[in-house]
Structure 1
Amino acid sequence: MFSGNLLILLTIRGSRLREQTMYFFLSYLSFTDVCFTSTMAPKLITDLLAQQKTISYNSCMAHMFYAHFFGATEIFILVAMTYEHYTAICRPLQYMVIMNRQVCYGLIMASAVGAFVHSIMQVLIIIQLPFCGPSQIDHYFCGIFPLLKLACTDISLLVIAIITTTGVLSILTFVALVISYIIILWTCSSEGFLKSLSTYGSHITVVFTLFLPLIFTYVPMAASVSNDKIFALFYTMTAPMFNPLIYTLRNTDMRNAMRKVW
C-alpha cells in the first residue's frame, strides 16, 4: 500500500498529469495515504513481531494525533475531489474559472487545517482524563475509544460528544458524497452515462470502502463495538491499500503516464 501510493505520487509529479486538476488532488490523496500508512503500519508490524507490545504515553498521543490528522485529511480531500467532479460535469463552462490552481491549493490547505483542528480536539479530550487503572489497550493503534475505556472517571458525556460529532459528521459527509455522485451521473447524457460511471465508479468505490467502516464504528448503535479491530482494519489498512489499484487499473491516463515515466 505504501509503494502503490508512492508510485501514483511519483507518476503524477513526473508527468503532465500534474497539470490536470483531478490528478492534482489525486497526488495529494496519495501523499496523504503514504503518510497515513507510515503512521499505522510500522507499529502494527512491530507489535506482530514483538513478544511484549508496549508504547509510551507520549508516543500514544502522537500516534493518535497523526492517525486522526492524516485520516481526516484524506476524507476532506475526497470531498474536494467530489466538488471538482461536480464542477467538471455540471458546470463545464465555468470549470477553469472555478477550479483554478489558487482554489485547488486553498482546498488542500482547508483540508489540512480542518484535519488539524479535528485531531487536536481528540488529543485534548484524552490528555485531560485521569488514568489510574489498567494500561492495556485492546487495539492495534491508539484510538480514542480504547483510550477512553482506560479513564478512571465517568466518560458517558465524552462518548456522546464524540459520537454526535465524529459519527454524525461521517454520516453527513458520506450522504453528501453519494448525493453528489448521483447528481453527477444524472446530469450526464445517455451517451456519456456509461463513460462517467466508469470514470467515477472508482471514486465511489473509495468512498464506500472508507466511510462505511467509519460509520459502523462511530454511529450511536455501534458504541458497543467501537473497539472492534475488524472495522478499523478497513479504514486504516484496506482503503489505503486499494486506492492505488482502484485509481490506476481502471484509468487509461494513469497507465499511459506510468509507461512514459517508468
Structure 2
Amino acid sequence: MVTTARQGGHIASSHADGTATIVIDRPEARNAFTSELYTQLKAAVRRAGDDPTVDVAVITGAGGSFSSGADLHAAFTGLAEEGPSSGYAWWDELPWPTLLDCPIPVIAAVEGPCIGAGLLIALAADTVVAADTAQFAFAEARVGIADRWAPALMDGRVPRHIARELLLTGRTVGADEACRIGLVHEVVSHDALGEVVAEKIIAFRRTSPHARALYKRYLADLVDRPTEPGIRAALEHSDAAEGMRAVLERRVPAWSPR
C-alpha cells in the first residue's frame, strides 16, 4: 500500500489488480476535510489517473463514514486568523475539477454521513453506490456558507426544483430518497457494498478504456464550472464566522439581517 499522511488527517491509496482504492482516512473526525486533506485527495486522484496500470478508481471513507464535510474547527480558525484568503479557502486546493477530469471511471462507495464536501466528491464521481444507512446533505447554508460548486455539480443530476430545496434548507436525506432524486445510482445493504462495487468495476471494464476516457472528457465539458472561488463570497460575510462559531458552541446562530 502507498499511503500519504500529513497533519490533519490523511488519504490512504492502494493499487491492486488495476483498481486504485482511495480511502478518506480520518475517522476520528468522521473524515472531515481540511485544506491539506483536499490537497491529498487531489494528488491521489491524479496519481490514479496517470498510472497506466490503473483503469478504475474507488473512493470510500474509513470508520463507517464517507465524509462529514468541512472541518469547521480548521475553517473557523483559518477564517478568524487569516480571513477569507486563508489556506482553507484556497481555490486551487479543491479536488472537484481533478475528479471531473480524471480519465478513468471513479466510483464513490458511500456509507454513513456524506455531507458537504463528501457529497461534492460523490457528485463528481461517475457512479455512486450507497449503503442503505448512508445520509446525504448540503448543510453549508446552516453555517452561513454557500458553495458555487454544489449547484454546478447537481445540475443535470438532480432536478433543479429539488436542488433548490436541498440547498436552501440544508436538510439531510436518506439513501433511498437520495437514489430517487438522482444523488445516488444504487442503494444496497451495508454487507453488499463491496460486492456491488466489484460488479460496477467489471461493467466498466467491458468497454474500451479509450472510449471511456473520451466520454469522460465530453461529459466533463458539460459541467458549468465556477470561474471564481466557490465559497469566498460567503466567507467574506459575517454570517460565515457566526455560523461556524454557533456550531462549535452548540447554539442557534444569530444571523445578520438580509
TM-score range, shorter chain: under 0.3
Q: Which is greater in Rg?
A: 1
Tell me: higher relative CO, structure 1 or 2? Use CA pairs within 8 A at least 6 residues apart.
1
Higher strand share: 2
What TM-score, normalized by structure 2, do the two folds share? 0.27
TM-score by length of 1: 0.27
Between structures 1 and 2, the one with greater helix share: 1
